[in-house]
Structure 1
Amino acid sequence: MKQFLLFTVLLFISILNSKAQNPEISGDAFAHTYSIVARDAKTGEMAVGVQSHWFSVGPLVAWGKSGVGVVATQSFVNPAFGPEGLKLLHEGYTPEEAIETLINNDEGRAFRQLAILGKSGKNAAYTGENCVAEALHITGDNFSVQANMMLNDQVVPEMAKAFTENVNLPLAERVVAVLKAAQKAGGDIRGKQSAALIVVGPDKVEEVWKDKKIDLRVDDHENPIEELDRLLKTARAYEFMNRGDLAMEEGNVEKALEQYGTAESMFPENLEMRFWKAVALANSDRLQEAKQIFDRIFDEDENWRTMLKRLPKAGLIDVSEEELEMLTRQSSKN
């Protein structure tokens, strides 16, 4: 343990000395990390996944825009590489040309690591000669994986292997599999702290709030990749909830029940998912089934009983006053 602490201290002193001798990186974020930029050949979606022993790594490293591409900027991060890289892609630059333009205009290029992937899947990466070992990048068909300050030289090859072997997974889950493989191979020599995942679509969108299809961050956690995986599973469940809501708006109760039921099966402990399934049942005149679910929910949290009483005025449940009274009545066992 003492030897490891001594190594860590000496490593930081060495890096700080390098920064002192290179003032062009003196104000840059110290986000050494491993990451992947990737595209799904079937859907055209693009993603960035990243993990680091650094607080809130996502906003520094991961950048993306639907219909344009994705960027990962790391090591001594130049955050301008994110928006500027996307701008260059939008203007028609290839990923290779974009990297060359950005790196050639950066006095801190020796300390940078950068990967860019465009909407066609073409990609390029750069690793500066002064990035802390183990530092490497590997580009392939529709992906680039890159890392610096890794425990060993197997991390990046294992990331590339994980991406190619998990071709049947949706892109977001595939990226998480890559991050897991990196950690299993040794990961960041300093350990774990934060992770992030963004996914953007294949086509440009006008509404800025539609730009990211998935945008998940774990800013500070003892097992950030496991937590990112949990958040992704939760996000997938809520996708079905959203589809159920849309079906309810369209008056398609049976479809809503199907979507809510799928969400509930993915996240059975979530009371809200159970609640809206029960509402859909009530709206399809399956009152006794709805009542059984409502009673179990109210046993766990009385606030949902009050919530149910508010729904008729909002037009979210179509029952008579007598039926509403029956649904909200205290169960006989209580």
Structure 2
Amino acid sequence: MTFSICVRERYTDDDGTDQCRFGVAVTTRLPGVGTLCPFVSPDGAVATQSLVNVELGRKGIEYLGDGLAVDDALEALLNADEGREQRQLHGVDADGTFAFSGEECHDWYGHTVGENFTVAGNLLTGEDVIDDTAAAYESAAHGDAPLAERLIDALAAGHAAGGDKREDLVVQSAALRVTNTEEGELADPYYNDLRVDATETPIADLRETFETATRGYEAVMERYADAYEEDDIDAAE
């Protein structure tokens, strides 16, 4: 089903410690893609699509947590999958990338791999969808905007290039998930795990959801930051 992007970004936190953030975003002309395709953890990001096998995503993230490299983990799962040639599977970990498109996926299908990201899609209007998604991310990589926002921008570029070709399917969905290697309750803002499950305007609605969640997060932090910092509910207003 349609197209997605997985991303790795290295950065230094406020204490000067090297960290890594991972993100995945996806959109399709079906409802509820956020329940099927995107998987993320502090160990990496994985997207499973085409004829979806959700276990490839779940076990892929589990294997990364066990210390396997992303290419070893995902290749091993595909080798054990009788439906391998109907799958698309791609992802990133702290050091590597992996992307696979089976020969039985439906046109247009394909993938691209960058230094810190992968993009894959099927049933698309053409290769431009993948190329424009990748280019939009690359042009804003490590920018000031949150990764969640930049992933939405990348999906928007692919959508503008044509996106999913099944125009008769008007009910669509989109989702994004972002996390990082930092510890603590405040390391993962609320706007980093968002889904729009059924709409005719998935990218616009995902962006609106992100903007609303960001305002909500900022309001919560303004009121309750001391309580979180002290781990004491009595410190809340």
Structure 1 length as normaliser, TM-score?
A: 0.61
2:105 aligned residue: 131
For residue 237 of structure 1, what is the amino acid of its counterpart? R
Deviation readout 1:189-214 (Å, 9 max, x if unpaired):
01461000111112477x8xx69861
Aligned ranges 1:1-334 → 2 under 5 Å:
32-42=1-11, 44-65=20-41, 67-118=42-93, 120-167=94-141, 168=143, 169-191=145-167, 193-203=172-182, 214-247=192-225, 249=227
SS of the equivalent of 1:113 reads: strand
Q: How far apart, in 2, do the equivalents of 1:247 and 1:315 lie?
A: 9
SS of the equivalent of 1:130 reads: coil
How far did residue 44 of structure 1 move? 1.8
Deviation readout 1:201-254 (Å, 9 max, x if unpaired):
12477x8xx69861111011110110000111111112211211124659xxxx
Q: Over alpha carbons, which structure has the higher Rg? A: 1
1:264 aligned residue: none
Q: How far apart, in 1, do the equivalents of 2:87 and 2:183 lie?
A: 29
For residue 216 of structure 1, what is the amino acid of its counterpart? L
Say if 1:125 and 1:144, in contact at 8 Å, map to a contact too: yes
Identity %: 35
Q: Tell me which stretches of 4 or more aligned residues in structure 1 moved more than 6 Å.
A: 210-213, 314-317
How far did residue 64 of structure 1 move? 1.2
Say if 1:33 and 1:52, in contact at 8 Å, map to a contact too: yes
For residue 190 of structure 1, what is the amino acid of its counterpart? R
Q: Which has the higher helix share?
A: 1
How far did residue 41 of structure 1 move? 2.6
Say if 1:121 and 1:143, in contact at 8 Å, map to a contact too: no
Deviation readout 1:244-289 (Å, 9 max, x if unpaired):
1124659xxxxxxxxxxxxxxxxxxxxxxxxxxxxxxxxxxxxxxx
Q: How far apart, in 2, do the equivalents of 1:185 and 1:77 lie?
A: 24
Aligned positions, number:
218
How far did residue 87 of structure 1 move? 1.4
How far did residue 121 of structure 1 move? 4.7
SS of the equivalent of 2:48 reads: strand
Say if 2:3 and 2:122, in contact at 8 Å, map to a contact too: yes
SS of the equivalent of 2:195 reads: strand
Q: Which ranges in structure 1 are unaligned for 5 or more consecutive residues? A: 1-31, 251-313, 318-334
